[in-house]
Structure 1
Amino acid sequence: MSLSHHQIALPTYIRMLGNLSAFIDKALEFCSAGKIDETVLLQTRLYPNMLPLVKQFQIATDQAKGSIARLSGIAAPKFADDETTFAQLKARIATTLDYLNGIPADALGEVKGKEVVLPWMQDHPLEGEFYLLHFAIPNVYFHVSTTYAILRHVGVPLGKNDFIGEL
């Protein structure tokens, strides 16, 4: 028996976004212990031409909900991308998780062969399964990984188990 696209994507997104939310708890403890203004931490980048921490959180949630919306046709929540606190980012993650947890098992039944047009690639549609497996899921992992890297870089005590999650 093969895995469905729902079984591949939804648990992956839910787990990684749950881990992302747990990163926030550790970041808040770190800020409190070090008397660090969280708004400063949220603007931290690994390199000057990279996006700041706050944007990494936003893109991870956008990729997860956006890919499922594109493939299922079930409208996703929209965000203004105006979060300035970790509490606001936790709320964003929670809203995204509520959406993902509400996606029916059969909602991704027609992914293979479906055409996905991304706003920045209007002239180059992607096949649905390719989009999910080779763009959307890796993108979520990329932005969660970058979030992890920024937080580790500044000293937040995260380890591999925080990234992978409970086994």
Structure 2
Amino acid sequence: MTFSLYDAVVPSYLQTLRGTIGWLGKAEEFAATNGKEEAEMMAASLAPDMFPFNRQLRACAMHSQGALEGAFKGVFSPDLSPHPESFAGLQERLEEALAYLEALDRAEVDALTGKPMRFEFGETKWPFTAENFLLSFSQPNYYFHTTTAYAILRNQGMAIGKMDYIGKMRMEG
């Protein structure tokens, strides 16, 4: 079996991003129904030293769309732009990531295999191959931030389950 970087990365990002967009809509409804201010939901976190909800979800876009953009450029640096402060802003950012991923060409992503790239943040510069960056750095970060955002909503009292998180699975037939 030939290794396909596209198959190892993109379909799973698409699946969970679609699920995330679904429960983000439910979160907005939950906030309105339960009298929670949007700013309160955006600032919610699991612990004082962890990013709040809105930064967790922005990180999902950064470690999916941004990671692949970085792999194509040969360098990835964390997104330090202002994070969305509303459900609508988060929805827009995640939809942008989804559209980017949906438009990727399989052959172009597979052609990244073996290409050198770097992670750069301040003085930190880590060398990777594109596939090692995507599979050992960005994918774990993506799932960490997606799971943490989901857990924040559960911690706020929102009734969502594992199937909301997983999204639509890729089944035969």
Provide TM-score, normalisation by structure 2. Answer: 0.87
- 8 Å contact from structure 1 (residues 26, 157) kept in 2: no
Provide TM-score, normalisation by structure 1. Answer: 0.89
- 8 Å contact from structure 2 (residues 19, 168) kept in 1: no
**CA distance in structure 1 between the partners assigned to 2:125 and 2:80 by the alignment:** 26
Identity of aligned residues (%): 29
Which sections of structure 1, spanning at least 5 residues, go unmatched? Answer: none
* Matched length: 164
- 8 Å contact from structure 2 (residues 39, 85) kept in 1: yes
Match of 1:108 in 2: 109
- 8 Å contact from structure 2 (residues 15, 168) kept in 1: no
**CA distance in structure 2 between the partners assigned to 1:124 and 1:72 by the alignment:** 16
Match of 1:83 in 2: 84
**Secondary structure of 2:112 counterpart:** coil
Match of 1:160 in 2: 162
Runs of 4+ in 1 over 3 A off after TM superposition: none
Q: 1:82 to 1:66 in 2, by over 3 A?
A: closer
Task: Give deviations 1:10-56, integer Å, cap 9, x for gaps.
Answer: 11111111111112111112111111111111101100010100000
**CA distance in structure 2 between the partners assigned to 1:82 and 1:148 by the alignment:** 17
Q: Determine which structure has the larger strand proportion and give its number.
A: 2
1:108-147 maps to which residues of 2 (within 5 A)? 108-120=109-121, 122-147=124-149
Match of 2:61 in 1: 61
The structural deviation recorded for 1:145 is 0.3
Task: Give deviations 1:93-144, integer Å, cap 9, x for gaps.
Answer: 1111111111111112233322221122644311222111111111111110
Which sections of structure 2, spanning at least 5 residues, go unmatched? Answer: none
**Secondary structure of 1:118 counterpart:** strand
Deviates more, 1:33-42 or 1:108-117: 108-117
